[in-house]
Amino acid sequence: MKDSALCTDLQQQSAGQELRLSLGKLNGSVPVPKHGHWLRRLLAFLGPGYLVAVGYMDPGNWATDLAGGSKFGYTLLSIILLSNLMAIVLQGLAARLGIVTDRDLAQACREQYSRPVGIVLWLACEIAIIACDLAEVIGTAIALNLLFGIPLVWGATITAGDVFLVLLLMRFGFRWLEAFVIALLAVIFCCFAIQIVLARPDMGELLRGFLPQAQVVMDPAALYLAIGIIGATVMPHNLYLHSSIVQTRAYPRTEQGRRQGIIWAVTDSTIALMLALFINAAILITAASVFHKAGRTDVEEIEQAYHLLSPMLGVGFASVLFAVALLASGINSTVTATLAGQIIMEGFLNLRLPPWARRLLTRGLAIIPVIVVTSLYGESGTAKLLIFSQVVLSMQLPFAVIPLVSFVSDRKLMGNLVIGRGISTLAWCIALLIVVLNVKLLVDVFRA
């Protein structure tokens, strides 16, 4: 009775406007045991973190990680580690916001800010979604080309059909969607675990790569790739996504129930993001130990890496493993982008479109530049477009991070579950670092 009363109250809030539950019927649809061993409750919460982690290892990451590893060896491993730690903090805050307020980040922005500000934030989110979709289109098209010989233009066009896959999975329930994503993540993990064994990296140099180095800031080329890695890793749309999908769990909508929900949700996302850290690091380590070590500092394109891996490692199936992992990554990323786009549009505009219409709209906007660039510049153009899309994502980050941190630091909004001063300071430092790096990049670009 209390839970239904709470839902009724929430729907009557927001200045007289109807506040719809995030994700509608999927909200609270996954049961969570109230008693029994803690492992059962953790397993009930496992899933949203992996959907979020998909965005941290999508094809956009591949481009920046490959370029970073081939050009600078293990140096940018420190950036991958830093961005992953930042992601753990920010995703934890996104989960907290959703669990405590029963709102996703887009809904919170619509309620807390004026309409003009909300429209600006919505447009920034849409740009981020398109940039993310752009990376997925390119990555999936490249994988289809490498494995089956399908031309890039046709491969990009085929990706529009992934909407039907998402719709099919959603019909069976949210757990089926999560199971599909986790299965493909396992494929990616296995492929790169084998690649690491084959590459035999120098462990001393590898470990030193995780230590911060001045070259990353002083060298404009390294900084450009570093910001691309941050943009590819800490994705703005993932913050909106996570704040919504954690609400699919049927935890008690009480203060104690929310406290427990925060613990399990943060544990879930932290475990999943450690998997993302391994995969991102594995891509860069493979590039550093195979290409950079041999003096091939020019490997920036996924196709180059595919064609060089087998002959340079002396193992015929190495390139196939690489392409299979890329295809799994591209397919997986379409699922999370679909959900994120739906959540952002519904939250900011209180407008519901059929999932297939929303997906075809964003995918169409991503396919057009891929087809144009491929037609004019060929495969080399798509590689540059891929890295550029990740820098665009990084530029959009402040528009998601700053509202998120301000909301979870607001006692009026969060009540007794507001974050502490220490976490708040850390979160604001992360937001400041993102802004400073972006300003530095813009200055370097205009000076060039």
Q: What's the pLDDT score for residue 9? A: 44
Q: Give residue 22's pLDDT band: very low, low, confident or very high (50, 70, 90).
A: confident
CATH number, position 348? 1.20.1740.10
Q: What's the pLDDT score for residue 2? A: 42
Write out pLDDT tens, residues 240-280: 999 999 999 999 999 999 999 999 999 999 999 999 899 98
Strand partners for 30: 249
Q: Residue 418 falls within a domain, yes or no?
A: yes
Strand partners for 7: none
Q: CB of 239 within 8 A of CB of 91?
A: yes
Looking up tokens 């913050």 gives: 239
Q: Residue 35 falls within a domain, yes or no?
A: no
- Determine which of 54-63, 184-193, 283-292, 412-421 has the lowest per-residue pLDDT on average: 54-63
Higher pLDDT, 164 or 79: 79
Q: What's the pLDDT score for residue 10? A: 42
In the chain, the percentage of residues whose pLDDT exceeds 70 is 85
Q: What's the pLDDT score for residue 3? A: 44
Q: Give residue 1's pLDDT band: very low, low, confident or very high (50, 70, 90).
A: very low
Structure tokens at 38: 């803690």
- Determine which of 14-23, 125-134, 359-368 has the lowest per-residue pLDDT on average: 14-23
Strand partners for 249: 30
Higher pLDDT, 11 or 230: 230
DSSP-assigned states of every residue in 197-208: HHH---HHHHHH
Q: Residue 37 falls within a domain, yes or no?
A: no
Q: Which residues of 418-433 are buried (b: 16+ CB within 10 A; e: fewer)?
A: bbeeebbebbeebbee
In the chain, the percentage of residues whose pLDDT exceeds 90 is 35
Q: Residue 36 falls within a domain, yes or no?
A: no
Which domain does 399 fall in, by range? 50-447
Q: CB of 322 within 8 A of CB of 191?
A: yes
Write out pLDDT tens, residues 44-53: 999 999 999 8
Number of domains in the chain: 1
Write out pLDDT tens, residues 194-244: 989 898 898 889 999 999 888 888 888 888 788 777 765 677 888 999 999
Per-residue pLDDT averaged across 357-374, rounded?
70
Q: Distance between CA atoms of 201 and 207, rounded to whole angstroms?
A: 10
Q: What's the pLDDT score for residue 266? A: 95
Q: Residue 210 falls within a domain, yes or no?
A: yes
Write out pLDDT tens, residues 74-108: 999 999 999 899 999 999 999 999 999 999 999 99
Q: Distance between CA atoms of 243 and 238, rounded to whole angstroms?
A: 8
Q: Residue 275 falls within a domain, yes or no?
A: yes
Overall pTM surpassing 0.75 (yes/no): yes
Q: Give residue 5's pLDDT band: very low, low, confident or very high (50, 70, 90).
A: very low
Looking up tokens 């496992």 gives: 46
Write out pLDDT tens, residues 302-341: 888 898 899 998 888 889 999 999 898 888 887 777 778 8
Q: What angle do CA 343, 347, 350 make, to 5 degrees?
A: 120
Higher pLDDT, 9 or 432: 432
- Determine which of 160-164, 328-332, 362-366 has the lowest per-residue pLDDT on average: 362-366
Structure tokens at 440: 């530095």
| pLDDT, mean over the chain | 83
- Neighbouring C-alpha atoms within 13 Å toward the C-beta of 353: 17
Q: Residue 23 falls within a domain, yes or no?
A: no
Q: What angle do CA 190, 194, 196 make, to 5 degrees?
A: 115
Q: Give residue 163's pLDDT band: very low, low, confident or very high (50, 70, 90).
A: low
Q: What's the pLDDT score for residue 315? A: 82
Contacts of 58 (CB under 8 A, 6+ apart): 132, 135, 136, 139, 232, 329, 330, 332, 333
Q: Residue 30 falls within a domain, yes or no?
A: no
Q: What's the pLDDT score for residue 284? A: 92
Per-residue pLDDT averaged across 145-153, rounded?
87
Give CA 428 to chain center in angstroms: 20
